[in-house]
């Protein structure tokens, strides 16, 4: 299972199960939030590690850059679009305000 699929499943689980969502939100307050996030994922049965998240985000960003403006280094910078952890947390935090 790839990182995007795991994050999608975990996001759905967090949005449907308040106790899972709480685990992720509490992990965000840890001094090492990315490590704590991955520990929650592992506790839930998903083998996800910090470098998996970082590499997946960078690979996604690189693929997007290659697909725009000829794929050269002059492609526009897509700030924040490669941080899967932050995107995940933003999606489950949003539910707080609904």
pLDDT at residue 98 tops 50: no
Q: What percent of the chain has pLDDT over 70?
A: 69
Distance between CA 75 and CA 67 in Å, rounded?
9
Angle between helix axes 50-66 and 33-43 (nearest 10 degrees) is 100
Comparing 34 with 78, the larger pLDDT belongs to 34
* pLDDT tens by residue, 25-66: 999 999 999 999 999 999 999 999 988 888 776 665 555 555
pTM: 0.73
For residue 31, the 8-state DSSP code is S
Comparing 69 with 96, the larger pLDDT belongs to 69
Residue among 13, 96, 19 nearest 48 (CA): 13
**Cα-based torsion angle of the residue sequence 42, 51, 83, 92 in order, rounded to the nearest 10 degrees:** 10
């Amino acid at each position: 299972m790839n990182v995007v699929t795991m994050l999608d499943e975990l996001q759905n689980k967090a949005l449907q199960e308040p106790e899972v969502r709480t685990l992720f939100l509490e992990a965000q307050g840890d001094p090492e939030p990315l490590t704590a996030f991955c520990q929650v994922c592992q506790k839930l049965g998903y083998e996800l590690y910090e470098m998996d998240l970082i590499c997946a985000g960078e690979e996604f960003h690189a693929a997007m850059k290659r697909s725009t403006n000829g794929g050269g280094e002059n492609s526009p910078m897509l700030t924040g679009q490669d941080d899967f952890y932050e995107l995940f947390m933003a999606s489950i935090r949003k539910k707080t305000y609904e």
